[in-house]
Structure 1
Amino acid sequence: MREKKMTRTWVDVCIYLISFGLLWLWLEPLQALDAFQYYMPLLLFTGFTFVVTFLQLPILASLFIKGLAVFFMVDRLYFTAPLFSRSWRGFLREQVVINYQAVIDRHWAEITDVFQMVLLLVLMAIISYLIYFWVIVMRRAFVYTVLTLIYLTVMDTFTVFQANSTAYLLVFFVSLLLILNGYLKLQRRLGLPLKSSSFLLRLLVPFSIVLIASLFISQSLPYLTPQWPDPVPFLTAPFEDGVERTVGYGEDDTQLGGGFNHDDTLLFEATISDPNYWRIESKDIYTGKGWEAQQPPDFMPMTPFDNNQAQFELNYFEAATFDKVVYPYYLTGVEESDTHQYEINIEQEVIRTVDTDPTEAVIQMNYDPFYFTEDHLRMGSREVPTEWRHLLQLPSSLPERVYQLADEITAGLSHPYDKAIAIERYFRTSGFQYRTTDIPVPELDEDYVDQFLFESKVGYCDNFSTAMVVLLRAAGVPARWTKGFTQGERVTDGREDVYQVRSDNAHSWVEVYFNNAGFVPFEPTIGFDASPLVTETTTEADDTDTDSATDDETTDEPSTDESEETSETEENNQQVEESEEITTEEETAASQERDETRWRVIWLLSIVLLLTGLLLIVVYKQRLTLVLWYINKRYPTFNHVKQFEHAYQFLLFILAFKSIIKQRTETLLTFSARVDDYFKTAEMRRLTAAYTQVLYGEEKEIVAANHLKEDYLQLIKRILA
């Protein structure tokens, strides 16, 4: 008997330590989210309260020790003056007054950090007692483990917290806790002996082997990517109105991702005869989450000069809050101005005004609407100059499959221009979609480009342009990320060559470096007209063919066969293009239909699981009422022997369901005595005595049937309580 008591005490210590480990897992997400400052002191305080609770000291002594621990912890964390000194008492008095007034006035935001910490420490002390009562006294560890699993799942799904390593600890703690707690409950009900040696050999050792083997196998097996779309953006979309950004130009690009709200605020008007994209700045350091400048821009004065090139004018409105100057490609100079002085950063090609607001006057500049030919871009050397090698930078955390994709797209291509064109076309031929809402934000350990290329394949200009720059760099082509505005909308009020640019025109694209041409823009975003940026594809060979065709027209007419063949070829090409468009539309419609079907299935399963869970909760809550209704319906009276026999068998079934089972070596009387000792009753003995008398005697009727029915119902209530 002494050995049994010592062993159970030792097992209780293990169970309580595991319970503390589960509570530690509850605190881990709060640390990852920076929810509070003093994580380690809080963890040490919680462990101390667990020890005090487990010792089961008198209640006054326990409260005094825990209160003293709270006092000591708050003093060490927040009080800088010596204990009980004048300044110490003054600070304490000030805290009491401030927090008392905040609570009375219900101004919860005015509660100080000191009082918040006191409340948190008191809460942890209460939790230590509740866990002891629930796990050690009541032996209800299952509810605690389920709540822990739900909590960590929710935190992992809807916050930046990642439960990767925590999941292994959770499996270990939960498995061990349920095994120990279940064995103790079974031992208490059946009265089985529990020895340390057999316990370790027959339970803990096999469990450890199975757990280690399972973890090893799970790490060795291949990882299957999710087959269904991520439901989290769909679930969180109704609650993200305040999280989505508003479209427009912004300085901070360190964290890309997520959708945005449209904004048609008018920013500036431009008078220009040959418009293209309005450039503002470029960034060159990709972090895996967004973009940063390599270093703070070093500006130098920009000397105004005039020339005979085309001119444009910018007229900013008050809504344009940025101090940088927007300008079209191939800027050649700035006009002399009494109101504006300009500075330029040569490396990033950023222009800004000095000591003036660009919205205060009209800005006039000159540009040359010039386009390169493919041959001109191919003429230069393929070597990357030293001063631009930083445009090949990629983070070390970039997944390997991004490099593999870049190699696949550019396979067999050697020139940077061919690689750029191949990557630019890849987004239009590989199932990507342009969308501005319900755009997933990469997880804490997930790369922005990797998530877009292989997971979502939906996004807007930031997704497409960033992905193209990363793929170009992975293929060895120097490129940078550029942002500004599209050309805008031409006005229809009679003014010629005037374009209005709004916040909705904010855009980002790609600039690729060529040795003999400098930076040339490319447009990978689906749905955008790249004609202002795409270089002309006219080559010398094309010019030669054109000249030859002109000569032919002046000398000989083309033959009928050649013209018919050309006409047939054009018709075939047109038919192929139309069939490709139809096929793409059909594939898109089929994909949308599959997505809708998946969501219907998800909703249906969610509703079924919810209704099933509610039904199970109702059945569990009303289990006693349901069982009593069944008994009164099935066995209305005990006057008949058969009814009483069936009712007694049903009673044995209920006891077996509660893990109270008659052993083969036990008699009914011995078993009934054990049941009465367990539930502190005497009904089981009386029912068993009547049952054995009916079973082995010759009575045709039950004596005192009404009293037996009352004993029966009373015992059922005790069992199911």
Structure 2
Amino acid sequence: MMREHKMFSLILYVLGFLLLWEWLLPLEQVTKTSEVQYFIIFVVASLLLNFFHAPWYITWPLKTAFILFALYAIFSEDMGGVLWLSQFIGEIKVNTAMIFSREWLDLSPLYRSLLFFLLLWQITYLLRYWLMIKRKIFVFYFMTIFYIALLDTFTQYNGDHAIVRIVIIGFILLGLLFFKRVLESEKMNGQHLLLRRWVIPLASMIGFGVVIGYLSPKAAPIWPDPVPFIESKAENMGRSGISRIGYGVDDSQLGGPFLSDDRLIFTVATPTRQYWKIETKDTYTGKGWIASNQTANEAEEIPYGEERLLDDIGSNSNKIQEAMFNFEVSYSHVVRPYGFLSIEGETSGFLRYDPRLDKLTSYSSDLNEVRLPSYTIKYKPPSYSMQELKRTKGILGGADFSKLQEQYTQLPEELPERVHRLALELTGEYDNWYDKALAIENHFQTGEFSYDQTRVAVPKDGQDYVDQFLFDTKRGYCDNFSTSMVVMLRSLDIPARWVKGYAPGQYKGASGDGNRIYEITNNEAHSWVEMFFPSLGWVPFEPTKGFNNPTNIVQDEQTGSTSEAGLEEKSSETEDKQLVEKEAEEKENPDKANEKDAKAGNFYYQQWAIVGFAVILIVLLACVFIFSRNYWIPRFWIRTYRIKKEEEDFTRAYGILLKRLGSVGLKRPPGQTLRSYADDVDRHFNTTDMSQLTKRYEELTYSRNEDSSHWDYSKELWENLMKKTMNRMKKE
């Protein structure tokens, strides 16, 4: 009898494993997971421990040890065990903080694998509960079909054969469990003999149905493919919702609120404070920015280490500096300072420079884009003469300049005229381009405009992005300010373009080699303005309220005979002084730091890591209590009622016993008398305790015989039955 029971349980576990296996088979195709065998071994081991009824104080350490071993084998990269464990704990802390900051898509592969192991741990426990206690598997069966259907619809995974396998396995499981429930409820003798007789026609019917279904002609789908519709709706919802701040490539639709993000992107050691440039855009559409195809220059390849001056830097006497980048989140595009000369950090491959975007992208020798975790850039910090800046006053001459002016003064025909009128009103008293640019730049620093990342409007159909900001909302972030300044300059026939990258970052102190350390997070993602001067090239401007332009302007307007070396030294001293003053101001007035509104929540984000660990600890403790409830719940009630002697206590204890019996599969059917139910329980446990206890309960309830509830004897019967329910759970 016991042997047949074990064999039936083993069959159920095998079928349950095959059903769960269907969850693991698609992983290699739809994810980057290539070590599925560890998950399969974990599932098999967990089910075997359940089959042999291993106690929790054995299964928990074994499963935890295997998870750590598997993660180490997959992600350690031959790292020492102690060092890897330290890194593992640090990664858990960082990713837990990311969960609470809702940055779920950026979780590390190690952390995702850990979460998947924990999910499998829970599912294997639920399988045991569904198969051996509830004798119902329909919920998991339906979830499996839904899971495969989703993968088949939205990924490259082909679920045709998987669905057939699931149908076969699921129907067999449903049939076996249904018949088992019937036999147990009817308490029929020779259950295992009847079960074997039931299996043969069940398997025959399922096999016949599958063959007929497979061979039958299939009708064409009558519903259209829902995927394009769903994807289009998702895009629209994404545009109308709240995004997270950070660098992105699509700028065709600007506007809408942003959430701040304190995630570290890179750290840079450099002697100068400056903007970190990535790319530019030249075509304004009325809603955002795109890159045109007007340039005749093709993309060129630049070998690593080869010097190529990409930016006009004004004075050529500036010393060559180095910026050493270390990325926490690496990209294929290169983040560069103004005055770029060369990049080092890779022994093979090359850079591709796209003049259309003024953008550098790293490539491997096999012509694939590659993400560089670190590199060093040599550059010449630019400095611009005030005399040269104020020298440009009119339309550029020459064929090349004329073409450039046409490209970078492009505006949509639908641009409202009041934008141009405002630009004329602000700059009418000035005769040179530089002063005009300063007038527009200063216009955004007035109290009329406010920096805001949350209450930012999206232009409606037919409404211009810049016009809405300048005249309606006057509230926004860097994209609003920078785009508006570019458009206003262009309306005056002044060449200007829109630039994307990162603000200078947060100063973290000096390094041993005299460099300054800056940390750049997603909050530093920024856009600004570049304006073209014939003798100087593209010069950056900063219209966004609350930001300081780190560009070095040499004040030589009154002292034209001053040597460039002296001016450079003076400007360097000025820069150092400004930096010290800025750092002191940020400490005294943190609200005026870069991305001041985005930084206001940094403290809270840091505390979320601690809160996250506390929540995980609470969840783990809750799981321990839930998974071990069969161990502590009956013991808790036994210890509680040992010291109670009132008649109401006996009534409550009897009610608790009834609930406990129902939770272990001995539920009292509706309409059954207590005496009949007590006889069923006694037959199951091969005892008379339940009948005696029920008799005493009825005497107390109906005849009010208080002696009947005396705990000297009733307590012993009650405790015996409570302990038997514990033993029944262990056997299951």
TM-score, normalised to structure 2, is: 0.40
Name which one, 1 or 2, has greater alpha-carbon Rg. Answer: 1
The higher relative CO (CA closer than 8 Å, separation ≥ 6) is in 2
TM-score, normalised to structure 1, is: 0.41
